[in-house]
Amino acid sequence: MPRYRAGGRPVQPIRFLPRPSFSRAILLFFSLIFEISAISTAMAQSGSSDTRENAVVTVGKVGAGVLMFHPLYISLGVEREISALIYGDGLLRRNESGATEGALASLPTTADGGRSWTFTLYSGIRFHDQEFLTASDVVFSYQLYKQARAYDPVFHRYFQNLEMVQTPDARTVRFVMKEPVREFPSVLATLPIMPKHQHDRRFFADAQAMMDPNRPIGLGPFRLETWPVYDTVILSANKNWHRGKPSLDGIVYRFYPSFDELQAAFVRREVDLIELDGAGSPVELKLARESSKIHAVQPDRQMFVSLFYNNQHPMLSSKAVRQALTHATDRERIMSQVMMPGTGELAYSPVSSSFWANGNAVRYGYAPDRAQRILRAAGWQDKQKDGILRNGKQILQFELIFPRGSVSAEKVVRLIKLNLSDIGVQVTPVPVEQKELVQRLRLGVYECALYMQDFEPSPDGFYSMFHSESIELGFNMLRYGNRQVDRSIGFLFGIPDRARALPIYRGLQMQISEDQPCTFLYFITTRYVAYDARIQNVSRPGGARLNPPDSWFIREDR
């Protein structure tokens, strides 16, 4: 059953079709070739003055299962990436320096002591179907966000202070808050806007006038051209984009079952750009495709890899068991065998060493003997001398799910299984599609999972991941609750200056690391991107960050 309905019709996700038979595969292949040719022809006839016509970049990804591009339901990194290209900016956006600036609207004016905030939309902005953006679209979108309580616990908390959204005229939007705020929350102002008219249309005599609600329509630099297509998502440039037509005429996303197959596709020149798996070798890839470029870049967000425990599971709800599992995990060995040198650092809490308030985390080292003592004190013993810990008739065992197709994930899970087996803990590894992994984490239908978590060390970040209120919203996927942690997170929201916030941040790190709701393995500090040398402006000056795809362009071959 679809999770969202508009105008009484279900909005279905984009799905990868089952692997077709040989004859059907041939038909799909020629259909795909025809669609790409049609897109290229349409781009060539668009009248663009850009000399880099038919500039299409193919991005390779490891298959992630069912994809959803609706802003309310994205959960994977690739979904966010493609959705951002389709829907584009919100009322405001953050520039490269992190400052907030006008995007669809000018910076807001305030009245009534911070209770009323007014945005004026820029004129002439069109959706992909050429309908103009109006204030009604903004109100419609924010009503959807407000109603979708499970969208995001952070946004939900801000929406609790939103009394109403008004439209004095077609280009003016006024937000009225229940309590005054000094600044309009940037997280609210940057939400993408959806087209009200797409969901309000009814049946007409001319069926062609009916907009199919399955196709996402946005305001972004690229529009979705084909769906569903086996293993492929095709985007074409929005030549009427309000920030100017992108230099690329199109982007094609192709998905492969595993990183090994993705890397082979890059060597065969089936794809133009890939991100290397943590265990991949940039040197070997460069030798295999000499003309390619390989850049080391920093992630846009802080990311750590950890063993997520379901803190409501009968065995894993025990802090002593979780602490023992962490002591039994040789994280330094994992990093040395899985990560390339200089691309990560050990994690002891959700906060990396680069954070200004880093400190006070309890550092659990590799100590299997201590892990066994902790488990014996908790009643887990190997009384049958078969290398398996039991507490009465209960065996200390659990299922460990991890993302299918990731070489680094497979290596990490193999090492963890060996570590835990040494102290008598039985682990059953189960590879699953990335989408299924995230869904199971949000629903709490798992025991243990290897997961890479984006985390911003801020009040919002701690609230989303560790506050007990976020459990039912599906974002505290650890299902972890601690009253002291809840209180500390609440205090952070009322403290604007760093000096007063410092001891609270450090207290949070100490409490969370002591509880070990997950075994923090390592932070990812550097990632490698390999791409065709013709693609320009992929990374920012100095190579620190990736540029968004709308700023890429293809260098002319001389």
Q: CA-to-CA distance for 528 and 198, rounded, in angstroms? A: 39
**Torsion from C-alpha of 36, 41, 43, 45, nearest 10 degrees:** -170
- Inform me whether the pLDDT recorded for 35 exceeds 50: no
- Classify burial at 447, counting beta carbons within 10 Å of its beta carbon; exposed 0-12, middle 13-18, buried 19 or more: buried
Which residues neighbour 25 within 8 Å (Cβ) at sequence distance 6 or greater? none
CA distance from start to end of the chain:
54
Which residues neighbour 312 within 8 Å (Cβ) at sequence distance 6 or greater? 444, 479
CA-based torsion, 212, 218, 219, 220: positive or negative: negative
Residue count (the chain): 558
Distances (CA, A) of 39 to 35, 43, 242, 268, 556: 6, 6, 21, 23, 20
The per-residue pLDDT for range 500-552, each reduced to its tens digit, is 999 999 999 999 999 999 999 999 998 889 999 999 998 876 657 788 898 99
Q: CA-to-CA distance for 237 and 245, rounded, in angstroms? A: 7
- Inform me whether the pLDDT recorded for 25 exceeds 50: no
**Predicted pLDDT of residue 208:** 43
- Inform me whether the pLDDT recorded for 40 exceeds 50: no
Q: Which one-letter DSSP state was computed for residue 67?
A: B
Per-residue pLDDT band at 227 (split at 50, 70, 90) = low
Q: What is the DSSP string of 222-271?
A: EEEEE-S-TTEEEEEE-TT-TT---SSSEEEEEEESSHHHHHHHHHTTS-
Sole residue written with tokens 């490269």: 96
Pick the range with the lowest mean pLDDT from 7-21, 87-101, 406-420, 475-489.
Answer: 7-21
Q: In 375-471, which ranges are E strands?
A: 390-391, 394-395, 397-403, 426-432, 448-454
- Inform me whether the pLDDT recorded for 50 exceeds 60: no
Q: Which one-letter DSSP state was computed for residue 209?
A: G
Question: Edge-to-edge, what's the strand order for the sheet holding 397-403?
Answer: 344-346, 518-524, 303-309, 448-454, 397-403, 426-432
**Predicted pLDDT of residue 79:** 87
**Predicted pLDDT of residue 542:** 61
Local structure of 337: helix, strand or coil: helix
Domains and CATH numbers, the chain: 5-40+50-70+220-295+531-554 (3.40.190.10), 92-199 (3.90.76.10), 303-524 (3.10.105.10)
Per-residue pLDDT band at 149 (split at 50, 70, 90) = low
**Predicted pLDDT of residue 483:** 96
Local structure of 425: helix, strand or coil: coil
- Inform me whether the pLDDT recorded for 6 exceeds 50: no
Q: Give percent above pLDDT 90 in the chain.
A: 59
Q: CA-to-CA distance for 194 and 110, rounded, in angstroms? A: 25
Contact 146, 176 (CB under 8 A): no
Nearest to 67 by CA among 275, 237, 228: 228
Contact 179, 144 (CB under 8 A): no
Q: Give percent above pLDDT 70 in the chain.
A: 83
Residue predicted with more confidence, 220 or 460: 220
- Inform me whether the pLDDT recorded for 214 exceeds 70: no
**Predicted pLDDT of residue 219:** 96
Most confidently modeled of 207-216, 238-247, 325-334, 473-482? 325-334
- Inform me whether the pLDDT recorded for 430 exceeds 50: yes
User: What pTM was computed for the model?
Assistant: 0.81
Per-residue pLDDT band at 280 (split at 50, 70, 90) = low
Q: CA-to-CA distance for 445 and 272, rounded, in angstroms? A: 37
Most confidently modeled of 3-12, 68-77, 222-231, 507-516? 507-516
